[in-house]
Structure 1
Amino acid sequence: MTTGYLILFTFAAVASVVLAWRRRAWLVTVGLALFALYPTGQLVDRTPVWLLVAIVVLTVVVAWHRFFRTSATVTRWGARIRRKSGVASTFDIARVGSGMAMRRKAATVRPSLSRATRRARWWQLLRLPTREVALQLCKVGLLRVWISSEDVLVVFGGPRTGKTQYLAGRIIDAPGAVLVTSTRTDLYEVTAPLRARRGPVYVFNATGLAGLQSTITFDPLTGCTDPVTAAERAADMLGAVSAGTGRGGAGEREFWDAQARRVLAALMHAAALGGASMRDVHAWVSDPDAGQARITSLLRRSPEKAFETDVAQFVSTNSRTRTSITSTIMPALGWLAHPAAAAAAQPSSAGFDVAELLESRATVYLLGGEEAQAAPLVCALTGHIARQARTLAALQPGGRLDPALTLALDEAALISPVPLQRWTADMGGRGVTIVAAFQSRAQLLARYGDNDAAVILNNAAAALLFGGTRDRDDLQFWSTLAGDRDEPVLSTDVHGHRSTRTVRKVPVLAPAQLANLPTGRVVAFRRGMAPVIGRAEQAHRRRDVRTVLTGHTPWWTRLLAALARGLARLRLRRPLSTPTVRPELVDDDPWVIPPEWTATSGPTGDGDPGEPGRWS
């Protein structure tokens, strides 16, 4: 056969194989492929080597291009969704969200590990608990789904759905310092005994919940001698009360909030420079004319001259504008009327050292409630700790804290509405782990607004959804986020015989399925893989929590301890020569063998001291 006919025959055979493969005729494809081997081999023998190399290179380039072009990528993704029913497979979890995947990033999350040699680092990673560098989302069968501790996690769940119990587990497992905000004492009661084993525990109880005494105080004027700190503190305190008020339109609300921030920052800066208190600030806001002379004299010491201009403008403006600014500021100072909150905000001679808190891996519980208007205080203290930690992180190797500071913000929209739209963008890279819990997405929208809520959700690497929500928009949002899948539909004739097979698009997770999730079940939306449905860890089922709360050691722990004691005794029950002992220790140490005992005379197993036996 000539070379031309051989080429034509080979091309026809290969084309037949491709056509059969595209029509999914697998047996025909295999048969034609075997048939095409002979002409292909003959053609290879007659072709020069350089031409074969060129053909192979060209084929690889064309195949690579076709494999990664947009249409091929979309086709593969569609096939993957159909094959996996729109959810993450076991391989996806192992590749993206497993403990081993998290430990591979340990040198980045924990810069102290990168200073070891490569062999020592690998040995450290094998022994390193995953919770030291990651947050557990849920369990799916035998696997656990994790996210890195440098990622942001938002949790959504209504009352009594297991959200708080899940958050308690993340507080217990946190490797470094932890800041906890809550409107109740249940997180403190569950986690404080276990966190005390890792470092000191502090309580800032601005509302006197359950009669729990505050062990630390925080004056909002701390650090306000710096103009930047004063501006940030004023923004934190006003942000705790201004969001979601619905006062006028959005543009009007932003205008008055901006005016109030300027005035409050100037007054707090003046009070810090003059050694005044927050009650003086309250008096200045109530009657700015009476305090104008003192405020002006104090602000002359400031390097920021704009504050003096802001106060002068506030005092000299018309009464209607001044009243609007005053009414915007006053809710942020309402806690002064609550005795417990006012006591928690008293200046402390010891101060509040954030560096020491991080070094000792301490846990700070910030408790508050809306009825006492304590949110501005809690928000101010949270902002102070987080910003100080960010400043200290810049001085550390890798520009991040090691281990990370964990911000566990339970009921964040109610008691600690910190500026998450900004913090979620860069706090993770500084070694600050953010776990924010909300009752629903609607609550997030009400507190932060549509735009800022969208920013928070986009910056979060994972969202954990508990059941219980009944809001239609929320359910439709999460269902849309989960996507669609192909569901086969079998059509039958009147005789019950299958006639056709079609495919229809259905949601991977229907809104009704999301609304009726059982208690403890969650849907985890993690960046980099499809959603998964698993079980969230409940703190009251953990062995360490049950031991602390009940005071009883589990039976398997007692069994292991008994076995260890038995092995210790067996190591002593071996033949010995006459031991050398110190007589002065015989009466004090019960394990010292008396000198009159020998290897052939001593106490036996039946308690007779006169018969030969082994040591007991």
Structure 2
Amino acid sequence: MSSRRGLFGDAGPWLIVGIAAAALVLSAVTWLGGTLGAAMAGDGWAPPPFAGSTFRALLAEGPGAVWPTTSPIAVFIGIAVVLANTVVGAVFLVRAVIRMTSKPKALAGRKELEALCPKGITDRARSLRPSLKGQKTLDPDETGNLLGDLDPSGPELRSSFEDVELDLMAPRAGKSTGIAIPRVLRARGCVLLTSNKNDVYAVTRAERAKVGRVWTFDPQGIVHAPREMWWDMLAECQTIEGARRLAGHFMASINDDASKQDFWISAAQNTLTALFHAAAKGGASVLDVLAWLADPADRTPVDLLREADMPALAGQLQGTIRGAVETRDGIYETARQSASCLLDPRISAWVLPDLDRPQFIPSEHVLGKDTLYLLSKDGGGSAAGVVAGIADATMRAGVIAAERMGGRLDPPMTAVLDEAANVCRISDLPDLYSHFGSRGINVVTLLQSYRQGSRVWGEAGMDALWSAATIKLLGAGLDDADFVDKIARLVGQHDVRTVSVSRSKDGSSRTYSDRQEQALPADKIRALPKGTALLLATGVRPALIKLRPWYKEPNAGPISAAAKQEADAITQRAAALALSTGRNSDG
């Protein structure tokens, strides 16, 4: 014997069910729409029986058989209105179902992210910030740092004020518009921002000026701001530790890998440490340090160290000076290269005492709501060493202030280290990261890739930075295959059910089996759309979020207008400078 399969095969039963459901929905729409039309026409709400006889009469005799006192036009209008709303609702429902089912099961949902949701983050903020106690309602920005909205439909997620963040995104993937600018605009305490571009400054300066003083450190003319401040660089060198840290920032500006310090780098850093400390103790200036570097035979720094009762450091410096000429000159030349940016009077003027301009004092900055913009170009001649020095001094001042407050800054300090690998190479940043978080210093380090960080801090240093960051955002354009594959493994796998259908002369049968596959393969991570990011929070499965660009927020209009004015002012200052430079060169 042989058996014949139906016309539609295995789909036949489902097709019958679908036709029946469609007929039921169409009947309900007609019944409800006609009744609504009659009510709108003034005949009151008098629905006919929801029965087959009603619909047969409607099909055979028209609307007058069911709603005899109502104009057929009113009935048809009512049906059209209900049908349109039903279609729209069905479309939204289908899209919602597709979004929910398309999200990989291995990614975290709202329940797992409760600690980052509004209620959880508010409770956390009250426990971290004594100043919030007693306040019944809190502004969301008082509770944590906005990360974005959980994909696909929220809620908004925030990190706490003891989290520290590392964000990896390709250029033009939303680092500035979705992270740096919103963090500066929403900050409740003092702000520190490093950058090599003028976009964040242009958008945020006017808003930050409303809450506190704006300090702009712009020695290389990124925004062509007039010099209205100076920073006592040598004040940080009153201790050997401070002098060594400052020397390390300058050496990092010429060393592509902090983990690979050869003899010349280490020896030059020791020499620069001694010279900085001698200048600080002896009341000398940055210009004196440059003179000592130019003349290795000058014994002045050795004498100043001895007068400051630092015989060991004086002896070490003297040993370098009296060493073999080739070795001494190599050490001094390396030190000169690291501090070469200070030879430019346009840069050194920002770190020399100036009685006509206010002095930026890090210990005072961290106690208020002022904003410090640290701007520098990339490449040769950049002021990256100075920028790293003032950024490091400010964050360390925040640590000291937090210890005096009982443990944490309140309100917390926001430090956005944009282009950190280019303009703010703090060599031991990975070691300090978790310590900053425990002191209420919210550090956000923005890098273009994992490999970029490895070139600055070495593989071990970048691994330490990655591990110390309690919040990590991975955005669009990550092209490092090994790193992206590592992230795919961290996201994990999920079960996928497959169906196998076998057919024979006796009919067909289905076999179900489960297999595991990566929730987010490497190619999907690389192809994340602009404006989205993969969130990796400590103790929680990864989640997809949508960033919240500043220009899509409700208050974007006034901010955008102020940003345009600031951008125009930057252009005018640049044009005026170019004109002045041209006249001087002609003269």
**What is the alpha-carbon distance in structure 2 between the residues aligned to residue 454 and residue 417 of structure 1?**
16
Please give the residue correspondences for 1:295-374 in structure 2 after superposition, counting only pairs within 5 Å: 295-349=301-355, 350-371=358-379, 372-374=381-383
2:108 counterpart letter in structure 1: A
1:224 counterpart letter in structure 2: C
Q: Please tell me whether residue 172 in structure 1 is matched to residue 185 in structure 2.
A: yes
Query: Which residue does the alignment assign to 2:459?
Result: 450
2:361 counterpart letter in structure 1: D
Q: Please tell me whether residue 88 in structure 1 is matched to residue 97 in structure 2.
A: no
Mapped contact 1:227–1:304 kept (Cα < 8 A): no
Q: Is the deviation greater in 407-416 or in 332-341? A: 332-341
Please give the residue correspondences for 1:390-539 in structure 2 after superposition, counting only pairs within 5 Å: 390-396=399-405, 398-418=406-426, 419-493=428-502, 497=508, 499-539=510-550
Mapped contact 2:477–2:527 kept (Cα < 8 A): yes
Per the alignment, in what secondary structure is the counterpart of residue 342 of structure 1?
helix
Mapped contact 1:218–1:348 kept (Cα < 8 A): no
Mapped contact 2:197–2:222 kept (Cα < 8 A): yes
Query: Which residue does the alignment assign to 1:153?
Result: 165
Would you identify which runs of 4 or more consecutive aligned residues in structure 1 move more than 6 Å?
Answer: none
Per the alignment, in what secondary structure is the counterpart of residue 445 of structure 2?
strand
What do residues 48-69 of structure 1 show as CA deviations (whole Å, max 9, x unaligned)?
xxxxxxxxxxxxxxxxxxxxxx
Query: Which residue does the alignment assign to 2:144?
Result: 134
The 1:391–1:520 alpha-carbon spacing in structure 2 relative to 1, beyond 3 Å, is: same
Mapped contact 2:302–2:314 kept (Cα < 8 A): yes
2:322 counterpart letter in structure 1: S
Q: 1:105 aligns with which of 102, 124, 132?
A: 124
What do residues 360-389 of structure 1 show as CA deviations (whole Å, max 9, x unaligned)?
310010000124321001001101111122
Per the alignment, in what secondary structure is the counterpart of residue 207 of structure 2?
helix
1:487 Cα shift?
1.6
2:205 counterpart letter in structure 1: A
1:394 Cα shift?
1.3
Q: Is the deviation greater in 321-330 or in 176-185? A: 321-330
Query: Which residue does the alignment assign to 1:33?
Result: none
The 1:283–1:399 alpha-carbon spacing in structure 2 relative to 1, beyond 3 Å, is: same
**What is the alpha-carbon distance in structure 2 between the residues aligned to residue 288 and residue 275 of structure 1?**
20
Query: Which residue does the alignment assign to 1:227?
Result: 240
Q: 2:204 aligns with which of 179, 182, 191?
A: 191
Query: Which residue does the alignment assign to 1:24?
Result: none
**What is the alpha-carbon distance in structure 2 between the residues aligned to residue 295 and residue 391 of structure 1?**
30
What do residues 243-298 of structure 1 show as CA deviations (whole Å, max 9, x unaligned)?
428xxxx66x2544332222111101112223322232223223211x12x12211
1:340 Cα shift?
2.7
**What is the alpha-carbon distance in structure 2 between the residues aligned to residue 207 and residue 539 of structure 1?**
27
Query: Which residue does the alignment assign to 2:271?
Result: 263
What do residues 540-563 of structure 1 show as CA deviations (whole Å, max 9, x unaligned)?
2223232232369xxxxxxxxxxx
**What is the alpha-carbon distance in structure 2 between the residues aligned to residue 160 and residue 482 of structure 1?**
25
**What is the alpha-carbon distance in structure 1 between the residues aligned to residue 421 and residue 306 of structure 2?**
38
Please give the residue correspondences for 1:48-67 in structure 2 after superposition, counting only pairs within 5 Å: none
1:339 Cα shift?
3.9
Per the alignment, in what secondary structure is the counterpart of residue 328 of structure 2?
helix
1:483 Cα shift?
1.4
What do residues 134-182 of structure 1 show as CA deviations (whole Å, max 9, x unaligned)?
1121202130122111111111111111111121001111110000000
Mapped contact 1:138–1:524 kept (Cα < 8 A): no
**What is the alpha-carbon distance in structure 1 between the residues aligned to residue 333 and residue 286 of structure 2?**
17
**What is the alpha-carbon distance in structure 2 between the residues aligned to residue 84 and residue 209 of structure 1?**
44
What do residues 402-454 of structure 1 show as CA deviations (whole Å, max 9, x unaligned)?
11111111011100012321221211111211011001111111111111111
Superposition RMSD in Å: 2.3
Mapped contact 2:125–2:161 kept (Cα < 8 A): no
**What is the alpha-carbon distance in structure 2 between the residues aligned to residue 304 and residue 107 of structure 1?**
48
Structure 2 unmatched runs, 5+ = 1-102, 564-587
Query: Which residue does the alignment assign to 2:51?
Result: none
Q: When the two structures are superposed, what TM-score results if normalisation uses the length of structure 2?
A: 0.73
**What is the alpha-carbon distance in structure 1 between the residues aligned to residue 492 and residue 331 of structure 2?**
46
Please give the residue correspondences for 1:198-277 in structure 2 after superposition, counting only pairs within 5 Å: 198-244=211-257, 253-277=261-285
1:498 Cα shift?
5.4
Q: When the two structures are superposed, what TM-score results if normalisation uses the length of structure 1?
A: 0.70
**What is the alpha-carbon distance in structure 2 between the residues aligned to residue 217 and residue 498 of structure 1?**
81
Structure 1 unmatched runs, 5+ = 1-82, 553-616
The 1:282–1:518 alpha-carbon spacing in structure 2 relative to 1, beyond 3 Å, is: same
Mapped contact 1:489–1:501 kept (Cα < 8 A): yes
The 1:215–1:402 alpha-carbon spacing in structure 2 relative to 1, beyond 3 Å, is: same
Per the alignment, in what secondary structure is the counterpart of residue 209 of structure 1?
coil
Give identity over the alignment, percent.
27
The 1:505–1:254 alpha-carbon spacing in structure 2 relative to 1, beyond 3 Å, is: farther
Mapped contact 1:412–1:438 kept (Cα < 8 A): yes
The 1:505–1:273 alpha-carbon spacing in structure 2 relative to 1, beyond 3 Å, is: same
What do residues 568-589 of structure 1 show as CA deviations (whole Å, max 9, x unaligned)?
xxxxxxxxxxxxxxxxxxxxxx
Q: Please tell me whether residue 379 in structure 1 is matched to residue 388 in structure 2.
A: yes
What do residues 184-229 of structure 1 show as CA deviations (whole Å, max 9, x unaligned)?
1100111111111211111000211142223322242123233332
Per the alignment, in what secondary structure is the counterpart of residue 233 of structure 2?
coil
What do residues 23-67 of structure 1 show as CA deviations (whole Å, max 9, x unaligned)?
xxxxxxxxxxxxxxxxxxxxxxxxxxxxxxxxxxxxxxxxxxxxx
Per the alignment, in what secondary structure is the counterpart of residue 280 of structure 2?
helix
The 1:499–1:173 alpha-carbon spacing in structure 2 relative to 1, beyond 3 Å, is: same
Mapped contact 1:379–1:416 kept (Cα < 8 A): yes
Per the alignment, in what secondary structure is the counterpart of residue 490 of structure 1?
strand
Mapped contact 2:472–2:536 kept (Cα < 8 A): yes
